[in-house]
Structure 1
Amino acid sequence: MNFIDLFAGAGGLSEGFIRQGFEPVAHIEMDAYAAQTLKTRAAYHYLKKNGRLDVYHRYLENLISRDELYQEVDSKVLKTVLNREISNQSIDELFQTIDESLENKENSAVDVLIGGPPCQAYSLVGRARDPYNKEHDPRNYLYQQYVKFLEKYKPKLFVFENVPGILTAGKGMLFEDVKRIMDEAGYNIEARILDASMFGVLQKRRRVILIGWVKGTDFFYPEFGESNHKYLVSDILNDVPALQPGETKDYLYATPPSEYLTKYGIRSDDDILVQHISRVHNEHDRGIYRLAIDKWDIEKKRLKYTDIPEENRTHKNITAFLDRFKVVAMDLNYSHTMVAHIAKDGHYYIHPDIKQLRSLSVREAARIQSFPDNFFFEGPRTATFTQIGNAVPPLMAEKIAEKIKQMLENKLDRQIELSF
């Protein structure tokens, strides 16, 4: 079963589909660092499939270069990653490249289309800051490019992911247009707000998951059961070495993996700890981090900006965004939502250990998003945080892919029965 991933980012959504046996025809992503991450992940899957993960591990340990890693991979695999913007100017060329790739496949159909246009234009925070409600933001209309792929490749099903703000942007008119053009393209659709915590992700993260299927088929929007569990955020933080601001401690874990890490495939026996990197913090911010951790540890309350002594405040605004400093509490079942703002300063993602007084490392942030430890993010630290914050959690993606796969296989089974 083949799929195309549009606006692919670092590949969180794609990762879930690959785990369920889907084959990528193309990942299209305009950000150069994210596209590089997709290539490196494609190399990982190729080498794993061919029993050569030792090559990938040498790359993680800085024993070979990225170019040397790629030389060990079939070039057709790397060419599935298209580092291009999707626009009126590029779309014909993208179609041509994808068509050429499909010609070389045993199955030349695109079974599933996945992806979600950049979501900043629809976000509630973004619209609150824009007096025109981002009415003229071109990112509001990237869904039209998505629909062009539906019309061109006619996949049996598609998955369109976005933030809840897409439902109410432009007083709901924007989403009405999304539904209208998808209907005209020949698809029934249903949209629901799903929380990543339903799927085993230790994070509260609400997203719109729109699923569409070809009219006249008996596909439907699947039901996803709740993932009730006993795990805590500490289960994804306690096995990595302690860090001070600006430190990196890679390769060796501090303790054996927790049950959660093993059960959900985030850490396996042959993994190497990489990208356990902390940003630098000044002493002023670390002092506020101490206040925030104490507030949580002693009172189980979040620090408000007005709780900070006036002489230590750097913002005059004491009426809005009062929770700009927030501890990732390890004694809860779920973290708060991981967003791309973590690339800016880390104040919203303070590590809970008062002996460390820092924000989360790259690897810790990736784990909260349910990325496995063998997933390497390319680019400087800021770029890696951005990729992580923008991603669809792979565990969530895998459960969605599993339901999509079941529907496609059931349809195939029925066709075989009818042929007899």
Structure 2
Amino acid sequence: MSLKYIDLFAGAGGLSEGFIRAGFEPIAHVEMNGDACDTLKTRTAFHYLNEKNQIEEYYNYLKGKITRNELWAKIPDNLINAVINTEISAETLPTIFEKIDSVLGKDKVDLVIGGPPCQAYSVAGRARDPKGMTEDPRNHLYKYYVEFLKRYKPKMFVFENVPGILSANNGGYLELIFEAVKEAGYELDKKVLNAKHFDVLQDRKRVIIIGWKKNLKLKYPHFEENEPQYEILKDLFSDLPKIKNGQGEWGAVDYAKETNNYLEKSGIRNGVCFTSQHIARPNNPNDLEIYKIAVNKWVQDNKRLNYAELPERLIKHNNTKSFTNRFQVVNHKGISHTVVAHICADGHYYIHPDIKQNRSITVREAARIQSFPDDYFFEKSRTTAFKQIGNAVPVLMAEGIANKIKEMIK
């Protein structure tokens, strides 16, 4: 019997994908963003068709041979309906519970996973808001998370968020979360975990709260802190076709090279001879000139570009006092800095380190930095795909956490 879970605030499914890899079975995904829900449905199709030895149907979709509706039509309705596209609120909870109950049947929920939107807790979000996000209703979404614990009484739960949650309201929100969860009958603990310790080629810190029913007498699992042994350019990007800004394919694209140790070990490449969404956004000549300066500075001198020090003709922003690192090159000889949702607005913070390509990273490269497998398809558009990727939990990190949870529950 596989362990069953509900994924709340599911996003594009990075956390969920890790748990599926570890052998868990999703009962339902709840997510308010329609594009992310479409991505979840398409990924549901992948897992279903893979299990039924009909994976060619999924590849036909990536190759443009069938439409998305034709793909989804191959999936049982109960699986498609298990992706619940709605905001979680006091008004919607009864309907969400009803939908989950109809999918669940007589089965029990072993686990609840997910993390409320992090903007309300993030340091950057608080800095931008005149009221420091204190009046943002998202601060209180944890209350609905707790309602799922009360209703389904899972053995354990995993709650993910940004490190800013530790300092939000001087730690007050975290205190409220702990109190509410304990009242619901759970013990819990928190740690700041870094994705790079899970073989993700990215420096990405996240607060991971893990809880368990009081009668289970468990404790927070131990995670090894292994430093990454691989590099972005040599190991992560090496087999992707070299393209310039504005170039690339939304659909299927053949690899330019054979696979390598990291791509195999991570599961990013899994035996298929093509990927998709290796597409770069177009840039204006001004930005491309800045990119070249930034790459030269980084690759040759190991120094980051300070926006205020650019030639005057290239400076287009009035603000040269803050955000002077707004143009940043991905570290070619190490791991990437944190991928965030702002990548959907522009790619200046994620410049490709190969000066010959002179562009920001593609959708597929961003997905790889987040350790998504190459057959993972993000729905709708380049912008929405970037946003989903930036908001996601890295798949390898999720899988590492899931494996520990599995050991504890069994």
Question: How far has the Cα of 1:329 moved from its partner?
Answer: 1.8
Question: How far has the Cα of 1:212 moved from its partner?
Answer: 0.5
Residue 200 of structure 2 contacts residue 228 of structure 2 at CA under 8 Å; is this kept in 1? no
Which of 269, 272, 284 matches 1:270? 272
Q: Does 1:147 align with 2:146?
A: yes
Residue 271 of structure 1 contacts residue 374 of structure 1 at CA under 8 Å; is this kept in 2? no
Q: Which runs of 5+ in 1 are unaligned?
A: 410-420
1:163-186 CA-partner distances (Å, limit 9, x unpaired): 011111111111111111111111
* Equivalent in the alignment of 1:211: 210
Question: How far has the Cα of 1:20 moved from its partner?
Answer: 1.2
* Equivalent in the alignment of 2:247: 247
CA distance in 1, matches of 2:228, 2:329: 22
* Equivalent in the alignment of 1:2: 4
Of 382-391 and 14-23, the range deviating more from structure 2: 14-23
Which one-letter code corresponds to 2:133 in the other structure? K
* Equivalent in the alignment of 2:175: 176
* Equivalent in the alignment of 1:371: 372
Of 126-135 and 191-200, the range deviating more from structure 2: 126-135
* 1:63 aligned counterpart, secondary structure: coil
Residue 197 of structure 2 contacts residue 228 of structure 2 at CA under 8 Å; is this kept in 1? no
Residue 57 of structure 1 contacts residue 272 of structure 1 at CA under 8 Å; is this kept in 2? no
CA distance in 1, matches of 2:404, 2:395: 14
CA distance in 2, matches of 1:116, 1:307: 39
* Equivalent in the alignment of 2:317: 315
CA distance in 1, matches of 2:129, 2:273: 44
* Equivalent in the alignment of 1:390: 391
Residue 255 of structure 2 contacts residue 273 of structure 2 at CA under 8 Å; is this kept in 1? no
Residue 327 of structure 1 contacts residue 352 of structure 1 at CA under 8 Å; is this kept in 2? yes
Question: How far has the Cα of 1:316 moved from its partner?
Answer: 2.0
- Name the TM-score, length of structure 1 as normaliser: 0.95
1:232-254 CA-partner distances (Å, limit 9, x unpaired): 11111111111111112442111
Of 262-271 and 208-217, the range deviating more from structure 2: 262-271
Identity of aligned residues (%): 52
CA distance in 2, matches of 1:230, 1:388: 23
Number of matched pairs: 405
Distance 1:187 1:320, change over 3 A: same
* Equivalent in the alignment of 1:127: 126
Deviation above 6 Å: which 4+ runs of structure 1?
Answer: none
Q: Does 1:352 align with 2:328?
A: no
Question: How far has the Cα of 1:379 moved from its partner?
Answer: 1.1
Residue 121 of structure 1 contacts residue 127 of structure 1 at CA under 8 Å; is this kept in 2? yes
Residue 292 of structure 1 contacts residue 302 of structure 1 at CA under 8 Å; is this kept in 2? yes
Residue 115 of structure 1 contacts residue 159 of structure 1 at CA under 8 Å; is this kept in 2? yes
Which one-letter code corresponds to 1:354 in the other structure? I
Residue 8 of structure 1 contacts residue 14 of structure 1 at CA under 8 Å; is this kept in 2? yes
* 1:5 aligned counterpart, secondary structure: strand
* Equivalent in the alignment of 1:280: 282
CA distance in 1, matches of 2:257, 2:277: 17
Which one-letter code corresponds to 2:76 in the other structure? D
* Equivalent in the alignment of 2:342: 341
CA distance in 1, matches of 2:30, 2:61: 24
* Equivalent in the alignment of 2:381: 380
Q: Does 1:236 align with 2:247?
A: no
Which one-letter code corresponds to 1:79 in the other structure? N
- Name the TM-score, length of structure 2 as normaliser: 0.97
CA distance in 2, matches of 1:172, 1:365: 32
1:352-380 CA-partner distances (Å, limit 9, x unpaired): 11111110000000000000001000011
